A and B are shown apart, each in its own frame.
Chain A
Amino acid sequence: MEKIAIVTDSTADMSNRMAAEHDITVAPLSVNFGDQSFLDGIEISAEEFYKKLQDSDALPTTSQVSVGAFVEIYKDLAEQVDTIISIHISEKLSGTYQAAVLAAQEFSDVEIVPVNSKSVTTSLAFQVRLAAEEIRRGSGKEEILKRLERAQEQQKIYFSVRTLEYLEKGGRIGKAQALLGTLLNIKPVLTVDDEGYVAPFEKIRGYKRVIKRLAELYGEFIEKHGPNCFQAIMHAAAEDEARNLKAIIEEKYGPQNLEINQLGPVVGTHTGPGAMGLILTPR
């Protein structure tokens, strides 16, 4: 039987436990404070990152996974498997996918399929978990890729940021550029669109209404795809708000299987603290 390994990157914000459980190899990006560089999730945890962010004057920057790092990872796996499916952060948000593509070209004795997830954070992790499920079920490469494609069509990311400043300074503002320069204190609901860009979904004024709107969007999604979805609330050092959102959702739609997780250092660098998002992917 075809042996398949899955690789992803640290922007999937997967816990070590989850990665180990599904036998996933995670390639770390880096987050840099000044001239200090930390491997995402290995040398710096989310908690340490947000604390450091508070104490640091200059904004951190991030670095993609290098081609060399991918080559090392693929080399190790090539000895054990026939196929590597390497699922990564949207190519519109990071050069990591591109690095995976270049690294894959170095190999001829193992088939390496880099996948542009067109998403990020837990949404990327959900794709990884879907692939792992398929492998356990004995599916082949084609079936896995088909499953991922469907997930990419149906997945939704809705998120809000306390300020657009971080997205702008980090160069990840994408189509939400249009929201810059408004004099009113707009709390936009943003999304990662079909192409994998950050895009404005709705312009909303008042943070309380953002929470209400996210709860509504949750309801719309569940109504369309049924309650058996991968679902999570992600936040950047905003656990209270995340719990509040979960409470509002459950008050409206009953108890849900909603995980609450912290955005990792690399994604957090670009959203800034206070960001919160709803991640939904049908199974």
Chain B
Amino acid sequence: MKQADHTPDKKVEKLDAPLMKKMIMAATLWLNKNQAEVDALNVFPVPDGDTGTNMYLTLLDAAREVENIEENEISRILEAFAKGSLMGARGNSGVILSQVFRGFANGARNKNTINTREFASALTEASKKAYKAVMRPVEGTILTVVREAAMAAEKEAKKTDDIRQLLEVTLLQAEQTLDRTPEMLKVLKDANVVDAGGRGFCLILEGYLRALRGDTALEQEIKMVGTAEKVKQLEPEKLEFAYCTEFLIKGNEIDLEIVRKNLDQYGDSLLVVGSTEVTKVHIHTNNPGKVLDHGVQHGRLSKIKIENMEEQTEERYSAVNHAVEEEQIPMEKDFGVVAVVAGDGLGEIFSSLGADELVTGGQSMNPSTQDLAEGCEKIPSERIIILPNNKNVIFAAEQVKEICDKEVHVLPSCSIPEGIAALMRINPEESLESVLQEMNNGLQEIKTGEVTFAVRDSNVNGMEIKEGDVIGLYGGELISVNNEVGKVALELLQEMVTEDDFLITIYRGEKISEEEGETIKEELAREFPDCDLELYPGNQPLYYLIISVE
């Protein structure tokens, strides 16, 4: 590896393009390493802890954008970073993050390099931009962390010309603010956690700092990210080495240096990391057998994975070409519908009701703005309605308007039943305007309940919850805790159903068999004789049941 132009003890007076690039890669990796910890910081004990994942995926897309450009001005790097993060934005946290980067890029416009004062003022811009992006800013979130970090940076920038020093102070303030988030936001205090988005931001700052300090372990892995994640190629490349080979060696006193030396001759992209007991090997080679032969001399092999990269590239190539061919016979529709759905059963229901494109996602797997935009592009229509079907996807869906040339409307459906109710209202003979109006009316007329499980112990609304308990939510509020899905469904419906209601629909998740579903339905039918009851296989993950009442 090329020697870094800074050493652990040398101060950094200005950030230039290559250094910024390295910092971005380091931040991405650092967030990836700590993703699970951020995910665990969810307020509500439902399995929607995905802030860490969303932020990481957003950052990863942004980093890819940066990786592919060769520019000498830092402003160009930051511009690409901001653009990439918007394209990749997933979930609320991802979208806010993309706004932070956008603000930072705006603050550093036309700069070849940036010094401490410029860094601080760009961070202030970032904070302002993030606040503006949120309709009702809430203190005690990532917003507060960014704002107070920026204030600390402004103050410190007057004292120092060392960016490393500046970042240290900024990070310290960010972490202190983060620790105070439970005092600012009651939901955090009740759940006994700090804000997940704020934590993610701290990790990004920490990643930056680690790059400046020259964290070599991180640098090693940056190279890996760079090679493994390159995907966007239309032409099948001629690969020098065809087989991507990965495995673990488990043994005693494995000498990583010797393994490395032995394997180097068989290919490229070699990576040997780990400890003397467990070592991970990754190499692109034309002779995976020989590589394994060498590996087995050092210990037992495990998790062996060999893939033909030529095939992968060709498949990708033909998939893209196929899509292009299909697009040549467009049947122009007046408007199209993109729906965000998880679970094949729900997907089929949405398709049968007229959704043109499905984007996989939902709770704990928010699709990115880019995924949604791609869905919009696939529909042969210039006007698109997006059904996010989850409140955490609405924000990302709104951003599609920024990157998609089509006329995009977001119908703010917060749940699967709301999405279905809205789809039911579409009359293709009507104008788009009245269709949207009708769909909105549809949202108002349906109530959503969810039966899922607690991911950790907690105490909500005076209810004691143990990890794994079955819990029932009505419009996002915790209503019932029990150990049986059927009982929770009953308690939930007792809360939801009023005398004006006619129909209860149950979409069973992938964990609930048809038989179990029928049993629950029959029990409920006895309890609610005035309503029609319908049961469908939704096969959705995480949610035992999604229930609608109308």
Contact = CB atoms under 8 A, between A and B. Distances in A.
28 contacts: A178-B428, A182-B352, A182-B353, A183-B348, A183-B349, A183-B353, A183-B536, A184-B349, A184-B352, A184-B353, A184-B505, A184-B534, A184-B536, A203-B425, A205-B424, A205-B503, A205-B505, A205-B534, A205-B550, A206-B502, A206-B503, A206-B531, A206-B534, A206-B550, A207-B532, A208-B502, A208-B532, A209-B550
Contacts of A202: 427
A239 B534 CA distance: 24
Interface residues of A, number: 17
A185 B534 contact: yes
Nearest to A199: B429
A212 interface: yes
Interface in B219-254: none
Contacts of B532: 206-208
A181 B534 CA distance: 17
Contacts of B545: none
Contacts of B530: 208
A209 B503 contact: yes
Interface of B: 348-349, 352-353, 420, 424-425, 427-428, 502-503, 505, 530-532, 534, 536, 550
Nearest to A201: B427
Q: Name the residue in A186, A202, A205 with the highest tally of chain B Cβ atoms < 10 Å from its Cβ.
A: A205
A212 B534 contact: no
Nearest to B425: A203
Given A206-B550, A208-B532, A181 B503 contact: no
Contacts of B550: 205-206, 209
Given A182-B352, A205-B505, A208-B532, 10 more contacts: A181-B352, A183-B348, A183-B352, A184-B349, A184-B505, A202-B427, A205-B534, A205-B550, A206-B503, A208-B530
A208 B503 contact: yes
Contacts of A206: 502-503, 531-532, 534, 550
A202 B349 CA distance: 18
Interface in A44-102: none
Nearest to B346: A183
Interface of A: 178, 181-186, 200, 202-209, 212
A202 B536 CA distance: 22
Nearest to A204: B424
A198 to B, nearest CB: 15
Contacts of A185: 534
A186 B531 CA distance: 15
B349 A212 contact: no
Contacts of B428: 178
A221 to B, nearest CB: 19
A201 to B, nearest CB: 9
A181 B352 CA distance: 6
Contacts of A186: 424
Contacts of A178: 428
A186 B352 CA distance: 11
B191 to A, nearest CB: 37
A194 B536 CA distance: 36
Nearest to B530: A208
A28 B541 CA distance: 58
A212 B502 contact: yes
B246 to A, nearest CB: 41
B147 to A, nearest CB: 47
The 5 closest A-B pairs by CB, nearest first: A206-B503, A208-B502, A183-B352, A209-B502, A206-B532
Contacts of A208: 502-503, 530-532
A203 B349 CA distance: 14
A203 B502 contact: no
A183 to B, nearest CB: 4
A184 B530 CA distance: 20
B420 A184 contact: yes
A226 B532 CA distance: 34
A136 B446 CA distance: 53
A252 to B, nearest CB: 14
